[in-house]
Amino acid sequence: MFTAENLLSVGRLFLSLFGQLLLLFIGISFMIVLIQVYVSKERIQRILTTPRKLTNSILGALLGAVTPFCSCSTIPVLAGLIRGGAPFSGMMSFLLTSPILNPAIMTLFFTFFGIKAILIYMGSVIIFSVTVGLLLDRLGFAKEIKQVAIEVCEGGGVVFEKLQGTFLQKNLAAWKHSLREAIKLFRSVVLYLLFGAGIGAFIYGFVPAEFLSRLAGADNLWAVPAAAIIGIPMYIRAETMIPIASVLTSKGVGYGVVVALIIGGAGASIPEVSLLSSIFKKKMIIAFLACVFFAATVTGYLFNIIM
């Protein structure tokens, strides 16, 4: 197994994966910061104060998909929506969509799995988020909110509306800020990217495909919910998991298994749940975790069927 040829093959795959991740991550991060400059948290709060529940829920899901805030930013936005009196359905749709459907995940999904996979993923997540937002509102979970102030984490802070100068000068400032932040963010996660590329290359070179296929293939019905359960308590970065997932699927692991793992880990990470416990009562936390598990499982099975 540990032959010179095999080690060279693993090394080449590692360099290929890391090279792709390096270029993609800087480009994606630049786009993410730029979106946050133009679509400020305050603007989101204004948009999501429309009183129509269905419209609000759809807007919440769509805004969550294009405003890739980290957990420590998403929760303060949620707190601001609560203080502003926004409808509960839209807040929940935003909360559910934001961590599991953003430009970073969509770009990586497209790069490693193709257009069909990203369309299935986007469609299922948005439909699920809108439906769950309306359902939780109908079931009266709005009363499970604590009236507690949440501190907004530091970082970024540049908003297009507050920049000085001409229109061109403001845009140039926004782009320069986004590039600086993208490089800074890359430096903070480069170890995660190296780890993800290394694990993916190791699995490709040294883990038998037959073993992975038997353990977590599409034919194993229990593998999808098991992956969702495993993913929920894990703090998985999409930048780390998606390249690993591409290698796992090439080794026979079902698409649904890796998708369930990604949604479970990104949708209900321990840091996010800890922050949510500051504003949600226990019953709402349990409902939130159940929703993420359900989304991960259903989307996983859908991927196994269609892909």
> Cβ distance 228 to 260 under 8 Å?
yes
Token pair for 1: 């197994």
Taking only the tens place, the pLDDT of each residue in 184-197 is: 877 876 776 677 67
pLDDT higher than threshold 60 for residue 276: yes
**Nearest by Cα to 92 from 283, 230, 284:** 284
pLDDT higher than threshold 50 for residue 166: yes
What mean pLDDT do residues 98-123 have? 79
What mean pLDDT do residues 199-218 have? 63
> Cβ distance 107 to 28 under 8 Å?
yes
SS3 214: helix
pLDDT score at 188:
73
> Cβ distance 72 to 104 under 8 Å?
no
Strand-pairing partners, residue 145, are: 280
pLDDT score at 10:
73
pLDDT score at 18:
75
Taking only the tens place, the pLDDT of each residue in 217-243 is: 667 778 888 888 877 766 555 556 666
Residue spans of the domains in the chain: they are 4-306
Which pTM value belongs to this model?
Answer: 0.69
- Out of 38-42, 67-71, 118-122, 303-307, pick the least confident: 67-71
Alpha-carbon distance 84 to 216, whole Å?
45
Q: What b/e sequence results for 92-123 when a residue is b if at least 16 CB atoms lie within 10 Å of its CB, and e otherwise?
A: bbbbbbbbbbbbbbbbbbbbbbeeebbebbbe
- Out of 154-158, 215-219, 230-234, 281-285, pick the least confident: 154-158
**Unique residue bearing structure tokens 């609000």:** 56
Phi, psi of 175 (to 5 degrees): -70, -40
